[in-house]
Structure 1
Amino acid sequence: MLSFRYAGLLTAASIAALTLFVLTAGCTGTDTGSALVQSGTGQTAAVTDGFGRTVTVPSPPESVVCSGSGCLRYLVYLQAQDLAVGVDDQEKKDQPMEGRPYALAYGSQFKNRPLIGELRGKDDPEKILGIGPAVVFKTGSTGTSYSTSAVDADKLQGRTGIPVVAFAYGSLRNDAEKAEMYAGLRVMGEVLGREDRAEEVIAYIEATIADLENRTGDIPEAEQKTVYIGGVSSAGAHGIISTEPAYPPFAWVHAKNVAAGLGTAHADVAKEALVDWDPEYIFIDLGTTQIDGGGAIGELKNDRALQGLSAAKEGRVYGVLPYNFYNVNYETILADAYFIGKTLYPDRFADVDPEKKADEIYTFFVGKPVFADHNSEYRNLGFAEIPL
Structure 2
Amino acid sequence: MKRGIFAISIALIVVLAGIVVYYSMSNEKSSMRGITIIDMAGREVTVPKNVQRVICLGPSALRIVVYLNATDLVVGVEDAEKYWDITGRPYRLAHPELANLTSIARGGPDNPTPYAEEIVKLKPDVIIASFVSLDVVNNLQEQTGIPVVVLWPSSDDLNKFFEALRIAGKVLNRERRAEDLIKYINDIIQDIKSRVKGVSYRPSVYVGGLAYKGAHGFESTSGNYLPFVLLNANNVASSAGNGTFLVNKEQIFLWNPEYVFIDALNLNLVMNDIMKNPEFYNAIKAFSDNHVYLVWPNNFYGTNLEIVFINCYAIGKVLYPNRFSDVNIREKANEILERFVGRPLYNILAAKFGSLVEPLGVQR
What is the TM-score with the length of structure 1 in the denominator?
0.82
Question: Which of 242, 253, 274 is matched with 2:220 structurally?
Answer: 242
Which of residues 130, 136, 141 in structure 2 aligns to 1:139? 130
1:112 to 95, 100, 103: 100
1:161 to 145, 153, 170: 145
Alignment size in residue pairs: 332
Partner of 2:88: 99
Give the C-alpha shift of residue 374 in structure 1.
Answer: 1.3
**2:233 counterpart of 1:263:** no
Pairing 1:282-297 to 2, within 5 Å after superposition: 282-289=260-267, 294-297=268-271
Tell me which amino acid in the other structure corresponds to 2:142. G
Is 1:316 the equivalent of 2:291? yes
Residue type at the aligned position of 1:103: R
Change (3 A) 1:118 1:41: farther
Match of 2:190 in 1: 210
Q: Which residue of 2 aligns with 1:345?
A: 320
The residue type paired with residue 119 of structure 1 is G
**Cα distance in structure 2, aligned partners of 1:250 and 1:41:** 47
2:258 to 280, 296, 300: 280
State the distance in 1 between where 2:216 and 2:98 align.
27
The offset of 1:381, in angstroms, is 4.2
Whether the 8 Å contact between 1:258 and 1:277 is mirrored in structure 2 is yes
Q: What amino acid is aligned across from residue 295 of structure 1 in structure 2?
A: L
Name the CA distance, whole Å, in 2 between partners of 1:94 and 1:46.
Answer: 35
Deviation at 1:309, TM superposition (A): 1.2
* Partner in structure 1 of residue 9 of structure 2: none
The one-letter code matched in structure 2 to 1:387 is G
Equivalent of 1:387 in 346, 356, 361:
361
Greater CA drift, 299-308 or 363-372: 299-308
Q: Structure 2 CA distance, aligned partners of 1:40 and 1:350?
A: 58
- The Cα shift of 1:42 comes to 4.6
Separation in 2 of the partners of 1:110 and 1:387? 38
Instruction: Please report how far the alpha carbon of residue 40 of structure 1 lies from its aligned counterpart in structure 2 after TM superposition.
Output: 9.2
**Partners of 2:61 and 2:151 within 8 A in 1:** no
Q: How does 1:51-130 map to 2 (within 5 A)?
A: 51-93=41-83, 95=85, 98-106=87-95, 108-120=96-108, 121-130=112-121
1:307 paired residue number: 282
Q: Quick one: structure 1 residues 260 and 41, their matched pair in 2 at CA, closer, same or farther if it must change by over 3 Å?
A: closer
1:347 alignment partner, SS class: coil
- Quick check: 1:300–1:312 contact (8 Å CA) kept in 2? no
Structure having the higher Rg: 2
Deviates more, 1:84-93 or 1:117-126: 117-126
What stretches of structure 2 of length at least 5 have no aligned partner?
1-26
- 2:161 counterpart residue number: 181
C-alpha displacement of 1:236:
1.7
The one-letter code matched in structure 2 to 1:58 is: P
* Partner SS for 1:259: helix
Report SS of the residue matched to 1:284. strand
Q: Is the 8 A contact 2:259 2:286 kept in 1?
A: yes
Q: CA deviation at 1:231?
A: 0.4
Give the deviation of 1:314 after TM superposition: 1.5
Q: What secondary structure, in the 3-state scheme, does the structure 1 residue paired with 2:293 have?
A: strand
Residue 367 of structure 1: how far off its partner (Å)? 0.5
Deviation at 1:224, TM superposition (A): 0.6
Q: Secondary structure at the match of 1:196?
A: helix
Query: Aligned with 2:130: secondary structure?
Result: strand
The CA deviation at 1:43 is 6.1
Amino acid at match of 2:211: S
Q: How far did 1:163 drift? A: 0.9
State the alpha-carbon separation in 2 of the partners of residues 186 and 71 from structure 1.
13
Q: CA deviation at 1:110?
A: 0.9
C-alpha distance in 2 between matches for 1:385 and 1:103? 29
Contact 1:86/1:113 (CA < 8 Å) preserved in 2?
yes
The Cα shift of 1:133 comes to 0.8
Q: Is the 8 A contact 1:286 1:382 kept in 2?
A: no
Shift of 1:251: 1.7
Q: Match for residue 133 of structure 2?
A: 148
CA contact (8 A) 1:282 1:311 kept: yes
Tell me the equivalent position of 1:30. Answer: none
Deviation string 1:299-321 (CA, Å, 9 cap, x unpaired) is: 23431212221111211100010
Shift of 1:188: 0.3
SS at match of 1:82: helix
Following superposition, the deviation at residue 382 of structure 1 comes to 3.6
Q: Could you say which residue in structure 2 is the equivalent of 1:24?
A: none
For residue 323 of structure 2, give the secondary structure of its aligned residue in structure 1.
Answer: helix
Quick check: 1:219–1:254 contact (8 Å CA) kept in 2? no
Is the 1:68–1:122 Cα contact (8 Å) retained in structure 2?
no
Give SS of 2:237's match: coil
CA contact (8 A) 2:314 2:356 kept: no
- Quick one: distance in 2 between partners of 1:359 and 1:225? 28
Answer yes or no: is the 8 Å Cα contact 2:125–2:147 preserved in 1. yes
Contact 1:300 1:307 in 2 (8 A): no
CA deviation string 1:241-281 (max 9, x = no partner): 00111001112112100000222211101101111111010
Provide the identity percentage.
36
Deviation at 1:327, TM superposition (A): 0.8
